[in-house]
Amino acid sequence: MTTTTTRHATEREARRVAEAAREAGWRKPSFAKELFLGRFRLDLVHPHPTVPEADSAEGEAFLEKLEAFLTENVDPEVIEREAQIPDEVVRGLMDLGAFGMKIDERYGGLGLSQVYYNRALMLVGSASPALAAMLSAHQSIGVPQPLKLFGTEEQKREFLPRCVKCVSAFLLTEPDVGSDPARLAASAVPSEDGKEYLLDGVKLWTTNGVVADLLVVMARVPESEGHKGGISAFVVDAASPGITVEHRNAFLGLRGIENGVTRFHQVRVPAANLIGAEGQGLKIALTTLNTGRLSLPAACVGAAKWSVRTARQWSGKRVQWGRPVGEHEAVASQLAFMAATSFGLEAMVDLASFMADEDRNDIRIEAALAKLYGSEMGWRVVDDLVQVRGGRGYETAESLRARGERPVPVEQALRDMRINRIFEGSSEIMRLLIAREAVDVHLAAAGDLVDPEAGARRKAAALVRAVGFYGRWLPTLVVGPGMVPTAYRAEFGRLGRHLRFVERRSRRLARSLFRAMARWQGRLEYRQVFLGRAVDIGAELFAMTAACVRAQMLAGTAEGKAAAALADAFCKQARLRVDELFRRMWENTDASDRTLAKDVLAGRYSWQEAGVLDLASASGLPWIAEVSPGPSTTADVHRTIP
Ligand SMILES: Cc1cc2nc3c(=O)[nH]c(=O)nc-3n(C[C@H](O)[C@H](O)[C@H](O)COP(=O)(O)OP(=O)(O)OC[C@H]3O[C@@H](n4cnc5c(N)ncnc54)[C@H](O)[C@@H]3O)c2cc1C
């Protein structure tokens, strides 16, 4: 009973912290939010936004320089073998301005748009995913982005010019804090004179942390007189006394990343380095990720495009059973999936990025959908490439080269790709975040009705609100433009039928969410698998829309017809996935799976695990290392890039 009570208390606290960090307001329209409400607002994304000509000229010129630099200076096999990016490559990229791509020109950066920043990362990722991860961790979540969004003019002037020529890192995760920042233990105690904070704690999996010059650190300020306290964000100079990088981590993929464990012991941080206000740290972290999240799916798009090219070249050449393998139907269907998905993914990520630059819409849900969908579908595409390459898909590039074959790093691509479903918000957490936004309107209208903590007066007010809202909203879900057979056809030709499908399924999605709300009420948030399917449907519908809008934008160009064919193929495949997800919303094994999982956790089936060894347990080490406070007892492995 006590354990259950404690568990509920911590769960409530986790939810409260996440809720407080959420950006609550919607100042601009949101295509995806409307989609979940059954309103297909094609006008928000069509015609496809474009880049102003001046930006485009600058962006293209930079991409050209970048491509030349990468081709000449980056050897992915060296990065993989040595598990390190050569310092000259990092320096060279700094000289090129690649560490300041998103930093405003006023502060010495290139001031590229999100679209060109993504294209640059995609290019870099096709040379070395580890290198793209370094640039992205520095600019998408490292010091430049939170300062751009929340920094004061003084902070920008002090740190942004430095960021153009240095490496920075974002330190939120701790050994006991992954998806649940409510448990954050690092502390920042204000000094009595108010001039500084004393930072203590241990941060885990700090991408770039091993070589970083500047850090963004999330730490908890205790509440005291004159201090609101709460999780807060600080810019910290990595050379400050009391900072030790205790370990450099090694991973399944991204072998070149400089990711470590960093200890802070009584580190003095000037009060002027606090970003925003005390207690705003998580909001800053989450808002940073809103657009920061777009660079990760851009890297996934790069991997998908690279996979299609490799699969095309290989499966057209490799002959087995009298035909190129790509002509055998089983492989052909993989090729079709890869090509169509690559188009759909690029359409979705590009559209979200153009929308970010255009700044007409709120794109927080679109960016989150792009992160979720890009990493999940990108993974499937690369996995198919491994299959299409057969045994060679499993062999390292070095080994292929040694036996005289083209060193295509397919197994590495799969390993490098896997982390995208985990970091910057795991897929499970992304589905929860998106679902929260999708049901936001319902919570605003009727949340108090199902809130056990709401009193009679709040419930009565909620009832009035709910009757008003649902009275207006529900009838809109019955009929819509997609019911007219010719809808969207005039502008989109045969792709119009896919947009009709999106419109109709968008209303069905909203009806399903309403039905689920009515059925489970306050318990809906625990129906994660149901909500996950709703989110996955939303992602598919957004991707389908993006694919059609992109094809329409390309109509009349040399690639116009081929783009329409790819969009058509992508939509046909996506429609099957969407209808399967709808079916499984109500026809599934969720309830029995929950029971089964409970029994698994209780050890009821542990006999089933007999016959296999558990060698790691012989180490006697715990699953999660205890963090002992105090100074470091190990050597500092921090290194400065010369
Ligand atoms: C290579 C690498 C680089 C990284 N870089 C950085 C970085 O630069 N900065 C930084 O701060 N962090 C970084 N991280 C941390 C990364 O963001 C976390 O690994 C990620 O947030 C997940 O946290 P976790 O690993 O502790 O998993 P946990 O939170 O322990 O989760 C374990 C599993 O449970 C699921 N889960 C957790 N909570 C819920 C829930 N409420 N509902 C449903 N499912 C749930 C998760 O999805 C996951 O599948 C990095 C990690 C790696 C491996």
Q: What token pair was written down for 166?
A: 């240095």
Please give the pLDDT value at position 439.
Answer: 83
| CB burial string 630-640: b at 16+ within 10 A, e below | eebeeeeebee
**423 alpha carbon – ligand 1 mean position (Å):** 6
**286 alpha carbon – ligand 1 mean position (Å):** 14
Question: Is the predicted pLDDT of residue 2 greater than 60, yes or no?
Answer: no
Please give the pLDDT value at position 52.
Answer: 83
264-288 residue pLDDT tens: 999 999 999 999 999 999 999 888 8
259 lines ligand 1 (CB under 6 A): yes
Which domains are present in the chain? 37-46+436-588 (1.20.140), 53-164 (1.10.540.10), 168-279 (2.40.110.10), 293-425 (1.20.140.10)
Question: Is the predicted pLDDT of residue 3 greater than 60, yes or no?
Answer: no
387 lines ligand 1 (CB under 6 A): no
378-423 residue pLDDT tens: 999 999 999 999 999 999 999 999 999 999 999 999 999 999 999 9
171 lines ligand 1 (CB under 6 A): yes
Please give the pLDDT value at position 6.
Answer: 52
Atom of ligand 1 lying closest to residue 179 CA? 29
551-562 residue pLDDT tens: 999 999 999 999
The predicted model gives 481-498 an average pLDDT of: 94
In angstroms, what CA-CA distances link 140 with 134, 207, 286, 290, 339? 10, 12, 12, 10, 28
Please give the pLDDT value at position 613.
Answer: 93
Please give the pLDDT value at position 1.
Answer: 40
What amino acid positions are annotated as catalytic residues?
424
CA trace torsion 121, 127, 129, 130 (10° rounding)? -100
134 lines ligand 1 (CB under 6 A): no
pLDDT tier for residue 468 given thresholds of 50, 70 and 90: confident
Angle between helices 129-136 and 87-96 (to 10 degrees): 50
Please give the pLDDT value at position 545.
Answer: 98
Question: Is the predicted pLDDT of residue 306 greater than 50, yes or no?
Answer: yes
**639 alpha carbon – ligand 1 mean position (Å):** 26
196-233 residue pLDDT tens: 999 999 999 999 999 999 999 999 999 998 888 999 99
pLDDT tier for residue 326 given thresholds of 50, 70 and 90: very high
The burial class, CB within 10 Å (0-12 / 13-18 / 19+), for 219 is buried
CA-closest candidate to residue 379, choices 304, 294, 302, 292: 304
DSSP element (H, E) containing 219: strand 214-221
**114 alpha carbon – ligand 1 mean position (Å):** 25
569-593 residue pLDDT tens: 999 999 999 999 999 999 999 999 9
Concatenating the DSSP letter of every residue in 248-307 gives: E---SS-TT--EEEEEEEEEEEEGGGEESSTT-HHHHHHHHHHHHTTHHHHHHHHHHHHH
The predicted model gives 153-181 an average pLDDT of: 94
**Cα–Cα dist 518/532, whole Å:** 18
Question: Is the predicted pLDDT of residue 4 greater than 60, yes or no?
Answer: no
602-615 residue pLDDT tens: 999 999 999 999 99
237-268 residue pLDDT tens: 999 999 999 999 999 999 999 999 999 999 99
Please give the pLDDT value at position 8.
Answer: 52
10-67 residue pLDDT tens: 777 777 777 777 777 788 999 999 999 999 999 999 999 988 888 889 999 999 999 9
The predicted model gives 525-541 an average pLDDT of: 96
The predicted model gives 134-161 an average pLDDT of: 95
Question: Is the predicted pLDDT of residue 470 greater than 90, yes or no?
Answer: no
Answer whether 365's CB lies under 8 Å from 33's CB.
yes
433 lines ligand 1 (CB under 6 A): no
Distance of CA 202 to the CA centre of its chain: 24
Measured by CA distance, the residue closest to atom 16 of ligand 1 is: 423
DSSP element (H, E) containing 218: strand 214-221
The burial class, CB within 10 Å (0-12 / 13-18 / 19+), for 409 is buried
